[in-house]
Amino acid sequence: MSNWKNVNNWHWTTKNCSKWAKEYLKEKLVDLEAEQDGIVVKTTELTECSGDADLNQRKGKLIPFIDMVIELTWSGVAPDDTQAAGRIRVPELQNLGEDCVFEVSVDDETPAKEPIKVVVRKHLTPLLSEKFKQFGKDMVETHSKDVYIEPSKLGASTPPRPATPNESSGTSASSTFNSGSYYTTSKSTASTKIVNTTTIKDTVELRTSANQIYETLLDPGLVAAWTRSRPDIFKHIGSSFSLFDGNITGTIVELVPNEKIVQTWRLKTWPEGHFSTVTLKFEQTSDYTVVHVIQEGVPVGEEETVRRNWQTYYWNSIKSVFGYELISQKPKIPTKSRKTKPRKKSSNEGGGGGSNYILVVAFVLTAIVLGFAFSSRSSS
């Protein structure tokens, strides 16, 4: 008999390991010591350990999700008895514990304390990095039994129910995956509805690396964080995904690490069986990553809904959870209409304007002056 609670470890299960993480990090990170050129430094206390540490399981795969802020105090002494103390802050400790940013500060900083600070930065923080890399592995080893059922304890799976003649004759479907393209065709007794579609394009700039945003969109643990739900997604070409409790579904078509993701994509409310194709291309710059989004096959009339969903539920949520700054796009400046001077009306257009009136007055005044001059000359 199969385990009815979680057949074949299929359902998403999560364990909050935050309390364990605080005790673990306190044990592993305090009293670490490094020495260089007679300068001895060590960590003294874990003063902050906040954020999330969860272990997730889906389809038999264990997925740690770590997003924490860590702060420690340190002390050091130089051969000349100069003493220093300060703090080491890690603003973003994530899953793999790699490429951590360490912010090292010194209390009452003076030039004499600078060599001690250098030893902290160059020799003490690498020891912390090694502990962080082991953190996720130890969390899996310690808590896996709470979210994962050993295959030997699952029992035999329930045999599939045979299809009835009515079920087998209703609708037939076939799926093909070949050379980076995926499509689904279905034949039904009802006539297929033709969907008029369009293409939408967008560009998003995020202050993070291409690798980070690539992983954020595909890693199950990270996706669970920004969707605030239990996603069904894996980094495998040909695998299906489901986000936001099934409101968005599709299939992974093509993956080029840190460069491109291609997937079929549909909203639950779209006509049955209709999928669009989303292409995400990542362009890494020195300070941020540009994400080029092209979505083909969007049903006409759904354009604004799709754009709003991407902005609200993808990019804004990712920014909120992970702190990736969403760089504002420069709005398109509308082209100013060129103002043309009004054309002067000719006399035969009727209703002579002010300019015509001025010309007439000038002509009359000129005639009067010339007439007076002429009469004066005649009288002399």
Q: Per-residue pLDDT tens for 75-87?
A: 999 999 999 999 9
DSSP 304: H
pLDDT of residue 334: 38
- For residue 328, the Cα-to-chain-centroid distance in whole angstroms is 14
Model pLDDT for residues 280-291, shown as the tens digit of each residue? 999 999 888 999
Low-confidence ranges of the chain (pLDDT < 70): 1-13, 57-61, 95-99, 146-192, 328-380
Q: Which CATH architecture has domain 7-153?
A: Super Roll (3.15)
Q: What kind and span of H or E run contains 376? A: helix 354-379
SS3 of residue 122 by DSSP: helix
Q: For the chain, what are the domain ranges?
A: 7-153, 195-327
pLDDT of residue 182: 32
Model pLDDT for residues 53-105, shown as the tens digit of each residue? 887 766 566 777 788 899 999 999 999 999 999 999 999 887 555 668 899 99
CB 240 within 8 A of CB 251: yes
pLDDT of residue 6: 44
Phi-psi region of 289 (alpha: psi -120 to 50; beta: other; left: phi over 0): beta
Q: Where are the beta strands (DSSP E) in the chain?
A: 13-16, 33-36, 39-58, 61-77, 83-94, 103-106, 172-178, 181-187, 197-207, 240-243, 248-256, 260-267, 276-284, 289-299, 325-327
- Opening angle at CA 317, ends 312 and 322, nearest 5: 155
pLDDT of residue 356: 52
The residue to which tokens 């034949």 are assigned:
187
- Fold observed for domain 195-327: Alpha-D-Glucose-1,6-Bisphosphate; Chain A, domain 4 (3.30.530)
The verdict on pTM exceeding 0.75 is: no
